[in-house]
């Protein structure tokens, strides 16, 4: 990962936790002490844990995996959106819609509606519409795009999810846990690390901290993408490799997206959809 030293973390205010009266005892291993009623996070613990999270993110990217960026608080939403856009990955920077992960069918219908409205608003399709109809469609589009714009291209369950503030994004955490999606998260002293696969103990309210840590996660993902092998003129779904991991050129005919050992072909088990409370998309 990009080198981050203690000074940068301190300057960003990453060490400031919440008031001691709001603390979660499960975060005690990551707390250095207390100052003026505020818990101080042990950054000597945070930095190696951040490094471990970045290694995981880089591995996902190197395998053409998908990561979902989530952060809807005003102080962090811009960083989340920027990371998603730059990595060309899905993101949620506004309200988390219930069922975003666990009720994909409902979300897909809303995304389809968004796409239909978008097509209707193209200049060549508005000739037969009145100004009032165009205005109504525009408003519907804006509302749908606000909630779904960042995930409209998310065609499958993500391979991992990065979250800022697990308390604020508790619904996203719950859905990820239900589906067994690995969670990377900034966890403050008032939160529980339970269910989080890669805990990054840090201030989750500071804009500077969010920018610093999100940029490191983003850079790790982009670094991983650069290591993806480029196969020219190959189209099939699989490329066969020998026991040493070398591609059998004689069997390469079209573009393939997945490289596997022919002895280890495993069918992916479909994830059973778990019903959760749905959040209706405003229209």
Domain boundaries, the chain: 6-96+157-225, 105-150, 230-265
Q: What is the mean pLDDT of residues 7-21?
A: 96
The highest-confidence range among 159-168, 245-254, 256-265, by mean pLDDT, is 159-168
For 54-79, what is each residue's pLDDT tens digit? 999 999 999 999 999 999 999 999 99
Task: Measure CA 34 to chain center.
Answer: 32
Residue 235: Cβ-neighbour burial (10 angstroms; 0-12, 13-18, 19+): exposed
% of the chain with per-residue pLDDT over 90: 64
The CATH code for residues 6-96+157-225 is 3.40.50.10490
The highest-confidence range among 105-119, 133-147, 178-192, 246-260, by mean pLDDT, is 178-192
* 166, 187 Cβ separation under 8 angstroms: yes
* 52, 46 Cβ separation under 8 angstroms: no
Q: Which of 47, 42, 19, 64 is nearest to 212 (CA)?
A: 47
Fold of 105-150: Helix Hairpins (1.10.287)
pLDDT at 266 over 80: no
Q: What is the mean pLDDT of residues 206-231?
A: 92
Q: Return d(Cα 148, Cα 141) in angstroms, integer.
A: 10
Q: What is the mean pLDDT of residues 205-221?
A: 96
Least confident of 1-15, 71-85, 256-270: 256-270
For 164-180, what is each residue's pLDDT tens digit? 999 999 999 999 999 99
């Amino acid at each position: 990962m990009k080198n981050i030293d203690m000074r940068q973390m301190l300057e960003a205010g990453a060490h400031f936790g919440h008031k001691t009266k709001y603390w979660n005892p499960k975060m005690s291993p990551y707390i250095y002490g207390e100052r003026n009623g505020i818990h101080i996070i042990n950054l000597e613990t945070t930095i190696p844990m951040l490094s471990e999270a970045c290694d995981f993110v880089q591995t996902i990217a190197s395998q053409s995996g998908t990561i979902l960026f989530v952060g809807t608080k005003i102080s962090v939403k811009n960083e989340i959106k920027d990371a998603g856009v730059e990595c060309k990955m899905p993101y949620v920077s506004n309200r988390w819609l219930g069922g975003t992960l666990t009720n994909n069918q409902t979300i897909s219908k809303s995304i389809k509606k968004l796409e239909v409205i978008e097509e209707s608003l193209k200049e060549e399709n508005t000739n037969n519409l009145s100004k009032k109809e165009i205005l109504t469609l525009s408003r519907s589009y804006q509302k749908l795009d606000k909630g779904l714009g960042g995930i409209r291209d998310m065609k499958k369950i993500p391979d991992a999810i990065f979250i800022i503030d697990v308390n604020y994004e508790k619904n996203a955490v719950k859905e990820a846990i239900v589906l067994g999606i690995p969670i990377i998260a900034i966890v403050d002293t008032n939160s529980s690390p339970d269910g989080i696969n890669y805990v990054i103990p840090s201030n989750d309210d500071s804009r500077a901290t969010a920018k610093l840590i999100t940029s490191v996660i983003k850079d790790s993902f982009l670094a991983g993408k650069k290591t993806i092998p480029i196969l020219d003129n190959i189209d099939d779904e699989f490329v066969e490799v020998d026991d040493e991991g070398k591609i059998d050129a004689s069997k390469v005919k079209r573009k393939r997206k997945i490289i596997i050992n022919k002895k280890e072909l495993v069918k992916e088990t479909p994830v059973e959809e778990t019903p959760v409370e749905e959040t209706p998309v405003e229209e």
